[in-house]
A and B are shown apart, each in its own frame.
Chain A
Amino acid sequence: AHDFRSTSGDSEDTELRFVTCQSLWNQIKSETEQIQEDLNKQLLDNLVGFLSRSHSEFQEKTTEWTCRMKFREIPAAALVLGVNVTDHDLTFRGLSDVLQDNITPYVALLEAKDCPSIKNLIQKLMGQLMSCDVDVDSLEDEDYVQVSQNRIRCSMSSLINWYESVIKKTDSETPSKKRNSASRHWDSPPVVVIFKDMESFTTKVLQDFIVISSQHIHELPLVLIFGIATSPMIIHRLLPHSVSSLLCIELFQSVSCKEHLSAIIDKLLLTSQFPFKLGEKVLQVLINIFLYHDFSVQNFIKGFQLSVVEHFYSQPLSVLCCQLEDVKKRVNSLSHDQCENIRRLPSFRRYVEKQESGKQIDLLTNDTFLKEETEKLLEDLHVYHENYVSILRCLHVFTSSLPKYPLGKQIRELHCACLENRVWETEEYESSLQLARMLNKTDLVTMLQQCVEILMSSSGKEFDKTIDKLKEFLTQFQNLEAEASQERDVSVSSQKELQKKTDLYHLQKTLLELKESRRSKKLTKFEMLRFEVVDSIDSLVRKYLVPADTKTLHEIMYFNTATVLRGHLNAAPRTALHTALNNPHWYLKNQALKCDGGGISNKAPDICIVYKLHLECGRLINLVDWLEAFSTVVMAAEEPNADAASSDQVDDIIHARFIRAVSELELLGFIKPSKQKTDHVARLTWGGC
């Protein structure tokens, strides 16, 4: 996939682009892994705590009465991971690594597809446990294990024998080694068995395994971990009470995938750390796939990777998509072809048109001048990004607390809205401003404080003034508080007046008066201030949240060809098949096949003709009629005048071609032989998709 060189000569810096792409991707990858680790940390810590607790109790006080009386249950952790099954692998890998570091070397991961029966399960389990034993023993007696594995009897008792021998071995090891291992594990570490996909296991296998192992829990300290994708209710559905009463189940829940995605977007997109950006449409495609289809963060990252590769592959100027420090060097070393590429960029042309004529000519003819200008523009773009992110966060602080979330609850929705077009021209923005004008004071103050924090932490230099202004607002609010107490006195007195009057007529009158005064009353100081705050936010938005595609040279940083991505990630096999059969020109690019509207060309491949004819039929297709129609179509152009002569006799060759085409359709799953009627086939699809 990384064969960039074949596209053109090196005048387009393919080598450099490739290197840039790789280093960028590596950065992104390590970042995502870090995020995943951070998010899972809590869960893993809880699990490790559970595991270390689970068997230690029994080891300490075996003599106590309650322990003797209590039925010894198998400790089991129900790990609810959410429906995004593709992400689970990483979590489990992290889990088993953590366990092997902290708790026990004996961790086995079981998948339902490997365990159709209890026999396979135990085989798999023993295989994994014994091989992890080899790792721990640093391969010193590998041959012994190899031999024993071959003739080992796959039963629980041999597993117990193995465990005892292993424990004994670690005891008798050299003291230095023992201390080393004892620091990490205890003298009899538990054996952890992880069931990756609890839902897919057959009930019988699970039940049998639990029953068997519960009989040996005294000899083999087993801990089970169930990976659950749906809800923990599945445990009760899979296991009857007699079996689930053998377990001591505790529940653990992982971070929801939506939070995970938010973290990823926050760290990958809403940051100026990475020069590469996703355009609005591309981001929308990726988010839609996530929300509508799979909830899989891994797939989102894969899609992100694809866009990185595609961007660096298809855009020659992506060589400039790098950190600001490198830009100058790279701009200077641009070839003439690359300069021409810049000049061809639509955003650059728009920019040129706005300049005065002298500069226009320079930009279009003088390479060095162009390079200087490009460098300046790229710097502008970087500054724009930094400001954009901070202001976006500030705006999100406001919009995320409004009722009904007119601009979306998540920052990603806001981001998309801002990328799409001028956000301040949308209706949603208007309504959210209106709502913001009705916020109460405490909310407003906390929001302003948050905004100040965000702006302080951002690296942009232009915000000093803004920060000052916001701080001024805050002090003004504080001053208001002092004044407010006085005002309250006034209002209280008017209330008192109201209470004094008991006469109905007077009451009505005063109420009307009050209403009147309220309507015409001048805005209070607080309201004035509130308007000011909202207006200043509005002006910030108008200044900084300009959509990226109005910026000059945005094509260098932004990947915006959503169609490519959609084609790769959201394939539509049925539609593709239909297009291929209905309109072969689409794929074959043969001029002769170019058909006009609904007609059936006889030059098309046989299968296409057969397919088109079958679209006109109902659920059952009469083969004879079909053949007739087929031969008519085929003969029609070959010998336009001969069809009268050989009317009822179908040519053998045509017959054979027909049979082949029909069986091809059957292979593709469009039709199947039917037993309802002789000489008929049944359609398996309906409509034309």
Chain B
Amino acid sequence: MPNLEHPAYPAADLLRLESLVPCRESQVSMLLSIFGERQQFSFPSIFIYGHTSSGKTYVMQTLLTTLQLPHVFVNCMEYFTSRLLLEEILIQLQTCSSDTEQASPVHCDSFNDFVRLFKQAVASRELQDQTLYVVLDRAEQLREMEANILPAFLRLQELTDRNVTVVLLSEIVWELFRPNVGCFEPFTMYFPDYSIGHLQKILSQNHPPEYSADFYAAYINILLGVFYMVCRDLKELRHLAALNFSKYCEPVVRGEANERDTRKLWKNIEPHLKKAMQTVYLREISSSQWERLQHDGGEPGQLKGLSAHTHVELPYYSKFLLIAAYLASYNPVRTDKRFFLKHHGKIRKTNFLKKHEKTSNHLLGPKPFPLDRLLAILYSIVDNRVAPTANIFSQITSLVTLQLLSMVGQNDQLDGPRYKCTVSLDFIRAIAR
């Protein structure tokens, strides 16, 4: 086990840090060695990537706060425009640096302004000799901002001529970031996924005060046995663990089993967890409903999940419109005559039919069709006469807003609009009944 060692920081802090970041010691020590001592210039930009909940944000945050390094932490998702992002960085700089009361609101329209204001802000601080860390979480959002933002952040140290390091956190690899005009290459670092052993260790760390650590660890072991196949998200697992723990304890509370009676406990919890996987995990029913269910001891079958309510009630003509749209989307045009005309003549048996229709049309997905074809099919599948009233046309539009149909090619409405049917065969079957 690599102990964290660094001459620049007190050993007590390092020890605390180590206890806070289990299973990430190697990454932390790597980062520390890159950071160097407080006053030393560090690498201008560091790019850290790894899968969801592999501890990127958490490790960065704990590292910076425990060692009390000056830093700015911004989530790019939240500050969705470049202006908001830059202003937020400046605001955080102002508040964390000086003891002076709330400075005036910042206005920063371009990166040029940002560099100027950044210099001012850093100059006013007494921490000039320390490295400032700017952490940009969810850095993939940067790609959607102006083209200059990402390259400029990568060489912020050079542009501002100050002791600053930019850390980018992202879930995707650096190759997808690199602009095609080229830019300063950051130091990239990978956070690997937690293994099952890591998950076990981390999850067992926070056991409830009423129960012993071993008891909780055994529970986590069972939980991981059920859920590891489908979910490796630490947050989600922890949530599930908290949700189902009371059920696990039930036999112990009732006095039917003691804490070491693992087999009995396993028998009690396993079907319950499986049920949880089908319901709560998929958000079919909400976690608060699940808790109430546990509390009342009811069967999960009573509560219908979200997917149980698939039936949609539609007006009479809307149903036919949707069926017509489905037929138009999945049948080739040349079969229309055969299917919808009363006197279609004989069906010619040719080989070429077989050649093309080997792949099912359902695999190819819906095809767009013009409005007139939809109406023509509608007229032929509805028994009585349908007047082309405004109501029929408005129903088509409302089907589009309900996302049952979708409009293809947003061009002129008069120019023969084309639609696609977006519902599945099962849905149409349910409607056609």
Q: Is the CB of A208 within 8 A of B77?
A: yes
Complex interface: chain A residues within 8 A of B403 (CB): 199-200, 230, 234
Complex interface: chain B residues within 8 A of A154 (CB): 84
Closest to A293 in B: B391
Q: Is the CB of A249 within 8 A of B313?
A: no
Q: Is the CB of A69 within 8 A of B388?
A: no
- Selected from B283, B387, B402, the residue in CB contact (under 8 A) with A249 is B283
- Selected from A75, A251, A575, the residue in CB contact (under 8 A) with B306 is A251
Q: Is the CB of A83 within 8 A of B315?
A: yes
Q: Is the CB of B312 within 8 A of A231?
A: yes
Q: Is the CB of B306 within 8 A of A232?
A: yes
- Residue of A53, A71, A289, A672 with most partner-chain B CB within 10 A: A71
Q: A156 near B: Cβ within 8 Å?
A: yes
How many B residues face the partner with a CB closer than 8 A?
63
Q: Is the CB of B245 within 8 A of A573?
A: no
Q: A431 near B: Cβ within 8 Å?
A: no
Q: B336 near A: Cβ within 8 Å?
A: no
Using known A-B contacts A73-B287, A78-B306, A250-B289, determine if residue A118 contacts B80 with beta carbons closer than 8 Å.
yes
Find residues 136-165 in chain A having any chain B CB closer than 8 Å to their own CB: 151, 153-157
Complex interface: chain A residues within 8 A of B395 (CB): 293-294
Using known A-B contacts A249-B306, A293-B395, determine if residue A211 contacts B318 with beta carbons closer than 8 Å.
no
Q: Is the CB of A70 within 8 A of B389?
A: no
A254–B307 Cα distance when bound, in Å, is 17
A247–B286 Cα distance when bound, in Å, is 8
Q: A215 near B: Cβ within 8 Å?
A: yes
Q: Is the CB of B236 within 8 A of A245?
A: yes
Q: Is the CB of B78 within 8 A of A212?
A: yes
Complex interface: chain B residues within 8 A of A642 (CB): none
A177–B403 Cα distance when bound, in Å, is 47
Closest to B422 in A: A237
A571–B389 Cα distance when bound, in Å, is 5
Closest to A248 in B: B286
Q: Is the CB of A157 within 8 A of B88?
A: yes
Complex interface: chain B residues within 8 A of A76 (CB): 286
Q: Is the CB of A83 within 8 A of B313?
A: yes
Q: Is the CB of B288 within 8 A of A199?
A: no
Using known A-B contacts A71-B238, A215-B78, A291-B315, determine if residue A233 contacts B391 with beta carbons closer than 8 Å.
no
A569–B247 Cα distance when bound, in Å, is 59
Determine how close the nearest CB of chain A comes to the CB of B303; give it in whole angstroms. 9
Q: A564 near B: Cβ within 8 Å?
A: no
A247–B398 Cα distance when bound, in Å, is 28
Complex interface: chain A residues within 8 A of B391 (CB): 289, 292-294, 570-571
Q: Is the CB of B239 within 8 A of A70?
A: yes
Complex interface: chain A residues within 8 A of B287 (CB): 70, 73, 248
Closest to B286 in A: A248
Would you give the 0/1 interface string for A546-571, flagging 1 where the beta carbon is closer than 8 Å to chain B? 00000000000000000000000011
Closest to A295 in B: B315
- Selected from B87, B246, B401, the residue in CB contact (under 8 A) with A85 is B401
- Selected from B80, B239, B372, B389, the residue in CB contact (under 8 A) with A208 is B80
Complex interface: chain A residues within 8 A of B209 (CB): 65
Q: A82 near B: Cβ within 8 Å?
A: yes
Complex interface: chain B residues within 8 A of A119 (CB): 80-81
Complex interface: chain B residues within 8 A of A420 (CB): none
A249–B280 Cα distance when bound, in Å, is 10
Q: Is the CB of B77 within 8 A of A65?
A: no
Complex interface: chain A residues within 8 A of B311 (CB): 231
- Residue of A68, A78, A157, A257 with most partner-chain B CB within 10 A: A157
Would you give the 0/1 interface string for A21-50, flagging 1 where the beta carbon is closer than 8 Å to chain B? 000000000000000000000000000000
Would you give the 0/1 interface string for B345-384, flagging 1 where the beta carbon is closer than 8 Å to chain A? 0000000000000000000000000001000100000000
Closest to B401 in A: A200
Would you give the 0/1 interface string for A190-217, flagging 1 where the beta carbon is closer than 8 Å to chain B? 0000000101100000001001100100
Find residues 300-344 in chain B having any chain A CB closer than 8 Å to their own CB: 304, 306-307, 309-318
A575–B389 Cα distance when bound, in Å, is 8
Complex interface: chain A residues within 8 A of B208 (CB): 65-66, 69
Q: B257 near A: Cβ within 8 Å?
A: no
A78–B245 Cα distance when bound, in Å, is 27
Q: Is the CB of A211 within 8 A of B306?
A: no
Q: Is the CB of B77 within 8 A of A66?
A: no
Q: B105 near A: Cβ within 8 Å?
A: yes
Would you give the 0/1 interface string for A564-588, flagging 1 where the beta carbon is closer than 8 Å to chain B? 0000001111110000000000000
Complex interface: chain B residues within 8 A of A73 (CB): 286-287
- Selected from B88, B235, B246, B282, the residue in CB contact (under 8 A) with A66 is B246
Using known A-B contacts A83-B314, A571-B389, A572-B388, determine if residue A197 contacts B401 with beta carbons closer than 8 Å.
yes
Complex interface: chain A residues within 8 A of B283 (CB): 236, 241, 244-245, 247, 249
- Selected from B286, B288, B390, the residue in CB contact (under 8 A) with A571 is B390
Complex interface: chain B residues within 8 A of A155 (CB): 78-79, 84, 88
Q: A529 near B: Cβ within 8 Å?
A: no
Q: A242 near B: Cβ within 8 Å?
A: yes
Closest to A229 in B: B402
Q: Is the CB of B414 within 8 A of A82?
A: no
Complex interface: chain A residues within 8 A of B317 (CB): 292-293
Closest to A152 in B: B105
A119–B81 Cα distance when bound, in Å, is 8
Complex interface: chain A residues within 8 A of B398 (CB): 83, 85, 294
Complex interface: chain B residues within 8 A of A258 (CB): 313
Closest to A78 in B: B306
- Residue of B206, B309, B317, B318 with most partner-chain A CB within 10 A: B309
Q: Which of A369-377, A400-408, A592-600, A681-689 contacts B (4 or more CB under 8 A)?
A: A681-689
A73–B390 Cα distance when bound, in Å, is 45
Find residues 249-276 in chain A having any chain B CB closer than 8 Å to their own CB: 249-251, 253, 256-258
A154–B233 Cα distance when bound, in Å, is 32
- Selected from A53, A71, A156, the residue in CB contact (under 8 A) with B239 is A71
Complex interface: chain B residues within 8 A of A364 (CB): none
Q: B179 near A: Cβ within 8 Å?
A: no
Complex interface: chain A residues within 8 A of B75 (CB): 212, 215
Q: B241 near A: Cβ within 8 Å?
A: yes
Q: A669 near B: Cβ within 8 Å?
A: yes
Using known A-B contacts A71-B236, A245-B283, determine if residue A236 contacts B315 with beta carbons closer than 8 Å.
no
A689–B304 Cα distance when bound, in Å, is 47
Complex interface: chain B residues within 8 A of A290 (CB): 315
Determine how close the nearest CB of chain B comes to the CB of A495; give it in whole angstroms. 43
Would you give the 0/1 interface string for A586-629, flagging 1 where the beta carbon is closer than 8 Å to chain B? 00000000000000000000000000000000000000000000
Closest to A571 in B: B390
Q: Is the CB of B288 within 8 A of A250?
A: yes
Using known A-B contacts A65-B208, A69-B238, determine if residue A153 contacts B390 with beta carbons closer than 8 Å.
no
Complex interface: chain A residues within 8 A of B243 (CB): 70
Find residues 318-365 in chain A having any chain B CB closer than 8 Å to their own CB: none
Q: Is the CB of A233 within 8 A of B306?
A: yes
Q: Is the CB of B77 within 8 A of A69?
A: no
Complex interface: chain B residues within 8 A of A435 (CB): none
Determine how close the nearest CB of chain B comes to the CB of A306; give it in whole angstroms. 15
A672–B80 Cα distance when bound, in Å, is 43
A253–B387 Cα distance when bound, in Å, is 34
Complex interface: chain B residues within 8 A of A291 (CB): 315-316
Complex interface: chain A residues within 8 A of B59 (CB): none
Q: A383 near B: Cβ within 8 Å?
A: no
Closest to A251 in B: B306
Would you give the 0/1 interface string for A222-244, flagging 1 where the beta carbon is closer than 8 Å to chain B? 00000001111111100001101
Q: Is the CB of A251 within 8 A of B309?
A: yes
Q: A309 near B: Cβ within 8 Å?
A: no
A230–B402 Cα distance when bound, in Å, is 7
Listed A/B pairs (14) with beta-carbon separation below 8 Å:
A66-B242, A70-B238, A70-B242, A154-B84, A199-B402, A208-B80, A212-B77, A230-B312, A232-B307, A236-B307, A249-B286, A289-B391, A292-B316, A292-B391
Give 7 A-B pairs besides A80-B309, A155-B78, A157-B88 with Cβ atoms closer than 8 angstroms. A70-B242, A153-B105, A233-B306, A251-B309, A295-B313, A572-B388, A574-B388
Q: Which 4 A-B pairs have the closest CB atoms?
A: A71-B239, A69-B242, A669-B414, A65-B208
